[in-house]
Amino acid sequence: MLRKLLDNVEQKILSNEKLKKFHPLHDALDTFLYSTNTKTEHAPYVRDAIDLKRTMILVVLALLPAFFFGTYNVGLQSPEVVDKDFLTCFLYGLKIVLPMYLIVFAVGGLFEAIFAVIRGHEINEGFLVTGFLIPLTMPPTVPLWMLAVATIFGVVIGKEIFGGTGYNIFNPALTARAFLFFAYPSYMSGNKPWIAPLDGLSQATPLLQKSSNLDITYSWWDMFYGYIPGSVGETSTLAILIGAFVLLITGIGSWRVMLSTCLGLIFTSTLLNQLTGVSDNPMLGLTALEHFVMGGFAFGMVFMATDPVSSAQTNKGRWFYGLLIGFMAIVIRCINPAYPEGMMLAILFANAFAPLFDYFVIQSHVKGRQLSYEE
């Protein structure tokens, strides 16, 4: 019955010149409920069990551990929650996180639909992941109107002006976060966003404590499990690694990008550790393991750096791309303690260089084949 209803509505839309331009809206609902019936009529043909919709759904499934723990942690870190049992903390966090998702998907979906209608193309499933990522990269105290503005900026400036999904240079979710960071820095950094009660005292994130030359009041295991203040989805390294496992076994996330990002982290942090004797900068003393569980490094490495659109496309290029991210993240954290995070800017910086890495890799292949042909 539903299939017949959708087909009848589609026929009426396509037969009416005034309504035809709104066909992308119907197509979005149809492909959300059913598999597309679009067939490739001409060669080359590619047969695969996975399509864009299934890919996006698998990424969302990989994000669920970080989402569930992050929602619980919002309640755990809130001074308003007295009883710290799991259900109470989770329900309180859900009251904070759920409106964030409603705003992001409502506003982002609206602008996706507007551009689809104007351009006459289908609404792409790419925003499913972008919309799921944006709230996870934000502090839970960010005002909803700011979140809406950031979402618009991420969708329009980060993606649509480049041509839509598949053409964007920068990661749209990180573009939204970068906009808020530079437009409203007091809501994204410092003591204001992340406050947690500890014996009646306010606590900031471990990175902020270290950059302020204070002793970190959290153990390494606290930071690994995620019992620390931070953005909604970035606190639990364990939950993020579970998501990484899902991306790796399904072949969606690039192991080369993840591994090379870790190698860049290890090399740069080890190098900067040697400067602790000649500088009083407290960030220089952080080890690679501490950097890994602090801030958004693990989350960015797994879910942002591996974005198949804005990352490098060649295998060799992915190694250089990941190394650059790991290097830049630690350099920004340590050399500029005024901005103790670093991962967001490192990935955006690497996004800009990804096409260059691919270009040189392809050119090296072309020259190699020319030499072998001449021989």
Asked if 151 contacts 104 with a C-beta cutoff of 8 angstroms, the reply is yes
Of 38 and 54, the structure prediction assigns the larger pLDDT to 54
The rounded distance, in Å, linking the Cα atoms of 104 and 202 is 29
Model confidence band, residue 23 (pLDDT cutoffs 50, 70, 90): confident
pLDDT tens digit sequence for 247-287: 999 999 999 999 999 999 999 999 999 988 888 888 888 99
Q: Which pLDDT does position 148 carry in this prediction? A: 95
pLDDT of residue 237: 96
Give the model's pLDDT for residue 255.
Answer: 96
> H helices of 16-51, where?
17-20, 23-33
> CA 346 to CA 337: how far, in whole Å?
15
Compute the average pLDDT of residues 74-89.
88
φ/ψ (deg, to 5) at 201: -110, 150
Give pLDDT, residue 202.
40
Residue 129 forms beta bridges with which residues?
none
The pTM of the full predicted model, rounded to 2 decimals, is 0.85
Helix (H, G, I), strand (E, B) or coil at 230: coil
The answer to whether 232 and 140 are in contact (CB under 8 A) is: yes
Q: For domain 52-198+208-361, is the CATH number 1.10.3430?
A: yes
SS3 203: strand
Q: Which CB contacts under 8 angstroms, 24+ apart, belong to 71-79?
A: 71/96, 71/97, 71/232, 73/226, 73/227, 73/228, 73/230, 73/232, 73/235, 73/236, 74/140, 74/232, 76/227, 77/194, 77/195, 77/196, 77/228, 77/229, 78/196, 79/195, 79/196, 79/197
Could you read off the pLDDT of 96-124 as tens digits, one per residue?
999 999 999 999 988 888 888 887 777 77
For the chain, the structural domain boundaries read 52-198+208-361
Q: How far apart are CA 100 and CA 351, in angstroms?
A: 26
Using DSSP, state whether 102 is helix, strand or coil. Answer: helix
pLDDT digits (tens, 9 = 90+) for 181-207: 888 887 776 445 444 443 333 456 777
Among 315, 312, 306, which Cα is nearest to 253's?
Answer: 306
When pLDDT is cut at 50, 70 and 90, the band that residue 8 belongs to is confident
Task: For residues 248 and 151, give the distance between their C-alpha atoms in angstroms, rounded to a whole number.
Answer: 28
d(CA 339, CA 349): 15
More confident residue, 42 or 107: 107
Between 117-126, 162-171, 343-352, the lowest mean confidence (pLDDT) is in 117-126
Q: What is the pLDDT of residue 246?
A: 95
Give the mean pLDDT of 334-358.
Answer: 88
Report the distance separating Cα 190 and Cα 200, nearest Å.
Answer: 19
Place of tokens 């990180």: 174
pLDDT at 324 over 90: yes
Q: Which of residues 86 and 28 earns the better pLDDT score?
A: 86
Percent of the chain with pLDDT over 90: 51
For 79-150, strand residue ranges (E) read none
Give Dmax (Cα) for the chain.
Answer: 76
- Residue 343: which of 292, 308, 282 has the closest Cα? 292
Strand 196-198 versus strand 201-203 pairing type: antiparallel
Question: For residues 193 and 329, which has the higher predicted lDDT (pLDDT)?
Answer: 329
Residue-wise pLDDT tens digits, 354-372: 999 999 999 998 888 887 7
Tell me how far apart the alpha carbons of residues 202 and 192 are, in angstroms, rounded to a whole number.
10
